[in-house]
């Protein structure tokens, strides 16, 4: 039984189906106690770049208001949080934080879908295997993101597909896991990857995370309301948990240092 989920999308990001309320209903039906929304954050890029897979600026206010209304409406049945899934883009991060600080929010999930600043990097979630330099850059950026203190967990840390040299993979991912352990930031075992047969969860990564003793959180990465109610995928995740002795925590410590501008 999954009681919490902090990785939830909605129609606001333009590639997920259903309103926030559809997701709340599905979570309540399953008997969940905590549902966090983490739609792809609006990123006000300095050069006007548009992502296509994230909330547009004009959706932002509606997203927050809808979730606030749901918090009130369902307060006796489920705890609901306002969050975002965001990349750490060094040149754009501070402006993104300033932008989301216009409204209340509870937490950020670090989902590093691109390297550098998106418009000048590579897509980390591609089907094509990447080179060592891209893996190193990805890990550097996930670590820098964790070090900002803004992120409560790392979504699909094993998203990037580097398969050339297992020693290099282990070396780099050990850096990522080690930093997560040091900063007590859980790593997410991603259900969307599991249910849609993606390259992640990548078992060698989880073998290492288990051996190192990293904290793990399950994340539905729901892009449909039904994904919150998918027992088969939950059982697959539990099998991985057992196989590698993963320490799974149910609730997240929410970090939202709202004061000041990040460096």
Which stretches of the chain bind Zn ion, using CB under 5 A?
A: 85, 221
Residue 82 contacts residue 64 (beta carbons within 8 Å) = yes
Q: At closest approach, how far in Å is the CB of 224 from Zn ion?
A: 11
Q: At closest approach, how far in Å is the CB of 190 from Zn ion?
A: 8
Q: Which residue is nearest to Zn ion (CB)?
A: 221
Q: At closest approach, how far in Å is the CB of 48 from Zn ion?
A: 22
Closer CB to Zn ion, 14 or 33, in the complex = 14
Closer CB to Zn ion, 111 or 210, in the complex = 111
Give the chain's largest Cα–Cα span. 52
Helix (H) or strand (E) holding 84: strand 79-86
Torsion angle of the four alpha carbons 149, 152, 158, 162, in this order, in degrees rounded to the nearest 10: -20
Strand, coil or helix: 56: coil
Closer CB to Zn ion, 92 or 221, in the complex = 221
Q: At closest approach, how far in Å is the CB of 106 from Zn ion?
A: 16
Distance separating alpha carbons of residues 103 and 85, to the nearest angstrom: 16
Closer CB to Zn ion, 42 or 131, in the complex = 42
Closer CB to Zn ion, 52 or 178, in the complex = 52
**Residue 37 C-alpha from the chain's centroid:** 10
Q: At closest approach, how far in Å is the CB of 121 from Zn ion?
A: 18
Q: Is the dihedral of CA 202, 128, 130, 49 positive or negative?
A: negative
Residue from 62, 45, 160, 163 nearest 113 by CA: 160
């Amino acid at each position: 039984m999954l009681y919490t989920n902090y990785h939830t999308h909605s129609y606001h990001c333009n590639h997920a189906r259903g309103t926030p309320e559809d997701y709340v209903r599905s979570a309540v039906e399953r008997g969940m106690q905590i549902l966090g929304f983490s739609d792809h954050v609006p990123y006000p890029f300095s050069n006007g770049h548009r992502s296509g897979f994230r909330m547009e600026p004009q959706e932002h206010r509606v997203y927050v208001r809808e979730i606030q209304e749901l918090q009130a409406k369902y307060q006796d049945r489920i705890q609901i949080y306002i969050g975002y899934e965001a990349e750490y883009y060094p040149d754009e991060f501070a402006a993104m934080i300033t932008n989301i600080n216009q409204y209340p929010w509870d937490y950020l999930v670090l989902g590093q879908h691109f390297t550098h600043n998106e418009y000048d990097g590579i897509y980390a979630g591609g089907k094509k295997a990447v080179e060592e330099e891209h893996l190193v850059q990805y890990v550097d950026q996930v670590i820098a993101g964790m070090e900002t203190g803004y992120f409560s967990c790392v979504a699909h840390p094993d998203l990037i597909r580097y398969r050339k040299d297992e020693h290099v993979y282990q070396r780099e991912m050990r850096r990522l896991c080690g930093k997560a352990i040091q900063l007590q930031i859980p790593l997410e075992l991603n259900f969307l990857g599991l249910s849609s047969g993606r390259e992640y969860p990548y078992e060698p990564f989880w073998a290492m995370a288990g051996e190192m003793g990293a904290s793990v959180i399950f994340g539905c990465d729901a892009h449909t309301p039904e994904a919150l109610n998918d027992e088969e995928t939950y059982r697959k995740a539990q099998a991985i948990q057992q196989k590698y002795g993963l320490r799974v925590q149910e609730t997240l410590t929410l970090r939202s240092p709202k004061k000041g501008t990040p460096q």
